[in-house]
């Protein structure tokens, strides 16, 4: 596996070793021992999957401590623009974000640690997105930031995405409920 770090401490881009032959390909999307050997000691307790049409935007979501989640995300089919916003108030990169395009063809995996709001925009119809979580979903701890927050000024690459009513009611970054 090849690990790439970002200017924002914590998130990682993971490129697994992919074995191709005439039948197709094979790779390990997660192997506890391999990850531990790379210094990535995560315990996952929940797997999630979503299917989205093109231009569907989900997020930006996070959970408050002690129910905060780290997420190991990847695209199985299609492609997404994935966003992770640093909401750790003591971080020198508080309010900064990482934007990365993930595709099924690249097989890349994105680690988003606790302390980040997360969202993604589906770039193709029938995009299948999977993620492992380090904590269970806890409705009472669920929070979020509106996708088009003017202070964050995230370049999603789209003016009018398809957003759920619930996500349209999320708070602005200035009204962030962050206990990180």
- DSSP state letter for 140: G
Q: How far is CA 168 from the centre of its chain?
A: 19
Torsion of CA 65, 67, 70, 75, to 10 degrees: -130
Please state, in angstroms and rounded to a whole number, the distance separating the CA atoms of residues 18 and 93: 33
Residue pair 27/18 in contact (Cβ under 8 Å)? The answer is: yes
Alpha helices per DSSP H over 21-128: 32-37
Residues assigned a catalytic role: 61, 131
Structure tokens given for 113: 């640690």
Please state, in angstroms and rounded to a whole number, the distance separating the CA atoms of residues 71 and 118: 9
Residue pair 86/152 in contact (Cβ under 8 Å)? The answer is: no
């Amino acid at each position: 596996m090849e690990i790439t770090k970002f200017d924002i401490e914590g998130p990682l881009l993971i490129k697994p070793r992919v074995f191709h032959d005439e039948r197709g390909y094979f790779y390990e999307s997660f192997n506890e021992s391999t990850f531990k050997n790379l210094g990535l000691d995560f315990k996952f307790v929940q797997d999630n999957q979503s299917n989205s049409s093109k231009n569907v935007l989900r997020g930006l979501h996070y959970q408050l401590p002690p129910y905060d989640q780290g997420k190991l995300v990847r695209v199985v089919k299609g492609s997404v623009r994935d966003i992770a916003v640093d909401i750790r108030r003591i971080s020198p990169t508080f309010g900064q974000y990482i934007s990365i395009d993930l595709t099924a063809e690249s097989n890349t995996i994105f680690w988003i640690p606790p302390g980040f709001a997360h969202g993604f925009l589906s770039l193709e119809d029938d995009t299948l997105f999977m993620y492992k979580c380090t904590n269970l979903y806890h409705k009472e701890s669920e929070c979020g930031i509106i996708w088009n927050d003017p202070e964050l000024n995230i370049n999603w690459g789209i003016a009018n995405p398809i957003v759920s009513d619930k996500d349209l009611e999320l708070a602005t970054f200035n009204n962030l409920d962050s206990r990180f």
